[in-house]
Amino acid sequence: MDIKALIENLEALNDSLNSTTIRESDVFKKCVGRFQAKLADLIGVYNSSDSENTTDMKKIISDLKVILEEIDELSSHDIKVLDFVKDIAPTK
């Protein structure tokens, strides 16, 4: 999995979530906040270049996938969140 490309896609999604007026509920806002925190975690782990962080990275990516599924379900707009990251799946 190309983590750098994944991070770039997630950052583009983050920009989209921040630039539109789709934040309809507190639950949605909290999901976006959790997404942003996990994205920051992923970037930090990726930038650390520590091979021992592979397990951490897989966990963060799994968490991101769950959060993005929640955002997709909560969004009543046609932004198709999962189109950005439909291939998120940690490799074993």
Give 40-79 pLDDT, tens digit per residue. Answer: 999 998 888 765 677 888 899 999 999 988 887 877 554 5
Nearest C-alpha neighbor of 88 from the set 71, 55, 63: 63
pTM metric for this prediction: 0.67
- Ranges of each domain in the chain: 3-17+26-84
User: What would the mean pLDDT of 32-40 be, rounded to a whole number?
Assistant: 92
- What is d(CA 26, CA 72) in angstroms, rounded to the nearest whole number? 15
